[in-house]
Structure 1
Amino acid sequence: MNAMPVGIDIAKNVFQVHYVDQETGEIVNKPIKRGQFLEHFVNRARCRIGMEACSGAHHWARQLMQMGHEVKLMPAQFVKAFNIRNKSDAADAKAIWLAVQQPSKVVAVKTEMQQAVLMMHRQREQLVKFRTMQINGLRGMLAEFGEAMGKGRAAMAMEISVVLASVEERLPKVLIDSLREQWERIEKMDGEIAAIERRLREWKKEDKAVKMIGEIPGVGLLTATAAVAMIGDPKAFRSGREFAAWVGLVPRQTGSGGKVNLHGISKRGDQYLRKMLIHGAWVDQMKTRRPSNVVVVALANKMVRTIWAILAYERPYEKGYMNVKPA
């Protein structure tokens, strides 16, 4: 007997489950409390369980897989096409049940370590954004009093002590203290960002996959750790091109009547990983022949395909390697 398809709409406290009982033909669509969720599946025959790849999905997927069930995590955009009624928990669970029975690209279930690394990347990204806001705010406030500083974190670090000393003679002490406290917050965030990067470096030393793709030109610490954590199981992708499409580094296609039109990159998939790859792309060889943006995206595409090949085939990076297919 084939594994029974089950659709689950997960939530914080109450999960909605939809399936058709294979013995009685009964349509089951009912809520299950969080504490009773795993108990509901522990003694059941192997099921093919579908869930949206949202918050908490990877945790529950790991738990269900340990029980022997097959779990298929799907993008919310794919599931949305199967919801033909007004949105509700019951309707969402049925839509997931319909979607899990269709052929589609699944989201690989991540390990706890992979999720932990991704969370460190998210923490770092938030700190960088907040630090930029604080730097711009401090620069703007000092400009109100005629003090202009160069752009960037390094320029401010070089000039801030002189600037604060200059305005200290003519501004109230309470304002000077506030400005100094803001600069101290910026320095504190510098330390927090550096600490996260140090932890990522420690993981790089321990993880074979991160070390291997770290040898690719243009792939640094952040790109290597983010790529390994986000890809999950590399064999979930059939090719490097499929992984590049998942990241959003292939052209968007439209057309009809047999004519295909290629546009800019689709920008689907994970924006953070795509940003890391594009920032790491090197452009010296082709820069004089094509527009710089085209070159950067082309090389980022090449990098992501190389990352997939190294992880999927578990072989080290070789400069100048040529894949020769037999005739």
Structure 2
Amino acid sequence: MNYTTVGVDIAKNVMQMHWIDPDTGEVVNRSIKRTAFLEHFVNRTPCLIGMEACGGAQHWARALTKMGHQVKLMPAKFVKAFNIGNKNDPADTRAIWMAAQMPRKSVAVKTEGQQAVLAMHRMRQQLVKFRTMQINSLRGLLTEYGEVMGKARSALNKAIPDVLARLSERLPAMLIDTLREQWKGLTKLDEQIVEIERRLQTWMKEDKASRAIAQIPGVGLLSATAAVATMGDPGSFKSGREFAAWLGLVPGQTGTGGKVQLLGISKRGDTYLRTLLIHGARSVLCNTKQPGIWLEQLKKRRPLKVAAVALANKMARIIWAILAHDRPYSKDHVSIKPA
């Protein structure tokens, strides 16, 4: 079926659209109010709608897909290459329209349940960030008064009661009370993080896909739930290698004149999930008692960090294979290519 390609630049109040009328060949670049956006596509024949994967794009993609349209979400970095000249809404929409017609892996359209899980991950990540900032802030403030403590959280908890007791003899009470409140606030952040992890654990018990990939060594609660929610539909990837490349776990390339040089990992795709997989791979490298022949040889040939990325790449491929083929994890499974 030949789809009419429509580029859409979404915003808070006004949407900009760009397409070419298939009957007259007229180039249409039109703005439309947010409230009338879905009404515009209700009676249109199915279209290929290209949008940047930005805030609100998943909501509009789900709504347009229900109407029978095909939606292609693209990273803003990919669309930027097609915007030549000044930056304004019509130019941005024309760039989106052009990018939608180029062959490239699109961002998966997620269900509301998958997006809810990712929202839990984002909130947990933010709380961990706040906790780290709070610890560093306390250590830095106390250093100004000659009190130096170790970096670990345990070192802070062990030393700060005596530190505050000593400083209370020569510093204002208002400062000592505020420092003590900030220190006790760390416990509240711990409780919120634990509560989010408990809710994710409950969700994983009810989700078959998350339970299946959690059996992979190095894949725990966070990695399993984030992988299922981030991937969306496993069938949208042709192979495990494509999924690993989508996460940025493959080498970047540079070259000319037929000579191609491999660089470090490309770091494209989802930074959060890639980080979780690499941390899990590092844990396997350092703690596993039965590494297997492949892993033992890899550790001998490559540095630890390179081996961790290679193992994370393999873990990503296994995750895709389990979800795409709906089979349980098997440590002794041997992949056989069809003849």
Provide TM-score, normalisation by structure 2: 0.92
Cα distance in 2 for partners of 1:290, 1:275 equals 20
Aligned twin of 1:249:
249
What corresponds to 1:142 in structure 2?
142
Alignment equivalent of 2:285, drawn from 279, 283, 286: 283
Give the 3-state SS of the residue equivalent to 2:285 in structure 1.
coil
Which stretch of the first structure deviates more once superposed, 164-173 or 275-284? 164-173
1:97 is matched with 97
1:294 CA drift (Å): 1.0
1:323 aligns with 2:335: yes
Report if aligned partners of 1:118, 1:230 keep a CA contact under 8 Å in 2.
yes
CA RMSD across the alignment: 1.6
* Separation in 2, partners of 1:20, 1:310: 42
Q: Identify the residue that residue 204 of structure 1 maps to in structure 2.
A: 204
Tell me what 1:305 maps to: 317
From 287, 292, 303, give the equivalent of 2:304: 292
Give CA-to-partner distance per residue, 1:34-65, whole Å, 9 cap, x none: 00000001111111111111111110010011
Moved more, 141-150 or 183-192: 141-150
3-state secondary structure, aligned to 1:253: strand
Alignment of 1:155-174 (within 5 A): 155-174=155-174
Query: Which residues in structure 2 correspond to 1:44-193 (within 5 Å)?
Result: 44-193=44-193
1:94-121 CA-partner distances (Å, limit 9, x unpaired): 2222222222211110111111111211
Question: Percent identity between the aligned chains?
Answer: 67
Give 2:303's aligned amino acid: P
1:288 shift after superposition: 4.5
Deviation of 1:7 (Å): 0.9
TM superposition shift of 1:160: 2.8
Match of 1:314 among 306, 326, 333: 326
Aligned length: 327
Amino acid at match of 1:42: V
**Counterpart position of 2:10:** 10
CA deviation string 1:55-108 (max 9, x = no partner): 111100100111111111112222222223311111111222222222221111
Alpha-carbon distance between aligned partners in 1 of 2:228 and 2:166, rounded to the nearest angstrom: 49
Moved more, 95-104 or 228-237: 95-104
Shift in Å, 1:156? 1.9
Superposed CA deviations along residues 169-228 of structure 1, whole A, max 9, x for unmatched, are: 443321210111111221111111111111111111111111111111001111111111
- C-alpha distance in structure 2 between counterparts of 1:26 and 1:217, whole Å: 56
Separation of aligned partners in 2, 1:231 and 1:15: 28
Cα shift at 1:229 = 1.2
Provide the residue aligned with 1:271 in structure 2: 271
List gaps (5 residues or longer) in structure 2. 287-295
Q: CA deviation at 1:157?
A: 2.4
CA distance in 1, matches of 2:37, 2:165: 62
1:136 is matched by which residue type in structure 2? Answer: N
Separation in structure 2 between the aligned mates of residue 160 and residue 138 of structure 1, nearest angstrom = 9
Query: 2:189 corresponds to which letter in structure 1?
Result: M
CA distance in 2, matches of 1:40, 1:103: 27
Flag structure 1 segments of 5+ consecutive residues without an equivalent. none
